[in-house]
Amino acid sequence: MINLIGKLREAPLRWLFLAILLNGFGLLALYSITTHSGELQLSSRFFKHLFWMIPSLFAFIFFLGISKRVIHKYTYAALSVMMVLLIVPFGMESIAGTHRWISLGGVSFQPVEVLKWVLIISLARYLSDHNLEIQRLRSVVIPTIAILIPVALVINQPDLGSAVILLMLPFPLLYWVGARPLHLFLLLAPLVSILTAFSLITFTIWIAAVGVVLYFTKTDLRIGLANFFGNVFLGLLTPVLWGKLLPYQQERILVMLDPTRDPLGAAYQVIQSKTAIGSGGFSGKGIGNGTQTHLKFLPEQETDFIFSVIGEELGFVVVCLILALFLYLILDIVKVAFQSSERFSSLIIFGVGILFLFHVFVNIGMTINLLPVKGLPLPFISYGGSFLVSCYAMLGLAMNMSIEGEE
């Protein structure tokens, strides 16, 4: 207990205050949604979310107090456990047509939310242990390929949003430890090949650019040829893989590019979300007065589109305040990561900040139609027990790692 109090004094406690403040905005939105619908009872999502604050704070305290040495030692064991838990939902009854949750005694748990930050710790250990070899392409490729295993499992749940987050995690961490820009380019090239594959002209220009980069950087001939033809093959394969996507997944991507494509179908969520945010004006309509929210035009109000509820009822001023709080929290986390003298700790702190950034960017981006609807929650604000616990666990972990000299 004395050690924990000492850590609280040394850690950036302002992060916890910011998290609780953001949590308060989420509870306010949930309160508005549940009271107006006459569902304000212990079984309502408002009280469930309030209840989940208890295990969330316990998770925060646990990861703040645990030894760094223990975290480093049991990282890969924890990753192995999470991989097994990721498979378990496939053997259980589906929920809403997906296999994302493990249900025990009426409580549902989503393993992928924990897997995200366990992967950050695993990548941090691998990259810190291979510090002297980070300039070698093999040291960069191995963690990227390893990520594909959980990504494939998550895609099959299906949970495309979380799969994208997992796929992108290695790149900022590799950049943080000083991986060569050429190696990062080689790793990101397949993603660009996928995005350009539907336009023959664009894809041809991109492949030509890949060839030019490989030639002028004097890349090893075998690596260069493998990368060049690998990108060509991937570009040709992408249209085939597109045909394998479920119709609703295709529609979500197409609707992002053209919201008027299906205003009463796949585009309905985005249109109602933008309408809600726009109708809130400067100061909002007031708690409980959101028409898009309470007339049920806005779908998934408590989770994916809770930011739209806040925009409609609390207005532009509060929306800007929330964005400012997220910006300060993430930038401050990155600043502390930069100042850390321990590579393992620095990578974990930075990874937590990046994971928060990904979630904020994707969630808000989809509510205003900058990105396809992917079903990713907003940290500390969206309803969801396993995600809220994970957010506080990550916060405690980052604060623990920020304390210099602790073992």
Residue among 287, 282, 325 nearest 309 (CA): 287
The residue-averaged pLDDT of 19-28 equals: 91
Token reading at 30: 């949930």
The answer to which of 119-123, 205-209, 251-255, 314-318 has the lowest mean pLDDT is 251-255
The residue-averaged pLDDT of 90-109 equals: 72
* Model confidence band, residue 325 (pLDDT cutoffs 50, 70, 90): very high
Three-state DSSP class for residue 108: strand
Top-confidence residue, 38 or 35: 35
Q: What is the C-alpha to C-alpha distance for residues 275 and 368, in angstroms, rounded to an integer?
A: 9
Tell me the domain boundaries of the chain: 2-401
Residue 265 scores a pLDDT above 60: no
Q: Looking up tokens 């009271």, which residue turns up?
A: 35
Burial 293-325 (b: 16+ CB within 10 A, else e): bbeebbebbbbbbbbbbbbbbbbeebbeebeeb
Top-confidence residue, 336 or 235: 336
Top-confidence residue, 275 or 169: 169
Q: What's the Cα-to-Cα distance from 216 to each of 209, 224, 226, 231, rounded to whole Å?
A: 11, 11, 16, 18
Give pLDDT, residue 137: 62
Residue 248 scores a pLDDT above 90: no
Residue 21 scores a pLDDT above 70: yes
Residue 247 scores a pLDDT above 90: no
pTM: 0.81
Neighbours of 226 (CB within 10 A): 13
Residue 341 burial (10 A CB sphere; 0-12, 13-18, 19+): exposed
Q: Looking up tokens 């930075």, which residue turns up?
A: 350
* Model confidence band, residue 148 (pLDDT cutoffs 50, 70, 90): confident
Identify whether 170 is preceded by a cis peptide bond (ω within 30 of 0).
no
Q: What is the C-alpha to C-alpha distance for residues 224 and 232, in angstroms, rounded to an integer?
A: 12
The residue-averaged pLDDT of 322-335 equals: 95
Q: Is 102 left (phi over 0), alpha (psi -120 to 50) or beta?
A: beta
Burial 14-40 (b: 16+ CB within 10 A, else e): ebbebbeebbebbbbbbbbbbebeeee
- The answer to whether 34 and 45 are in contact (CB under 8 A) is yes
Three-state DSSP class for residue 43: coil
Q: Looking up tokens 């939310």, which residue turns up?
A: 113
Residue 392 scores a pLDDT above 70: yes
Q: What is the C-alpha to C-alpha distance for residues 89 and 95, in angstroms, rounded to an integer?
A: 10
Q: What is the C-alpha to C-alpha distance for residues 60 and 62, in angstroms, rounded to an integer?
A: 6
Give pLDDT, residue 92: 72
What are the tens digits of pLDDT across the range 223-243? 778 878 888 888 888 777 777
Residue 266 scores a pLDDT above 70: no
The residue-averaged pLDDT of 186-201 equals: 77
- The answer to whether 100 and 106 are in contact (CB under 8 A) is no
Q: Highest mean pLDDT range out of 22-31, 42-51, 173-182, 228-237?
A: 22-31
Give pLDDT, residue 298: 66
The residue-averaged pLDDT of 17-24 equals: 93
* Model confidence band, residue 376 (pLDDT cutoffs 50, 70, 90): confident
Give pLDDT, residue 40: 60
Give pLDDT, residue 177: 80
Residue 294 scores a pLDDT above 70: no
Give pLDDT, residue 268: 67
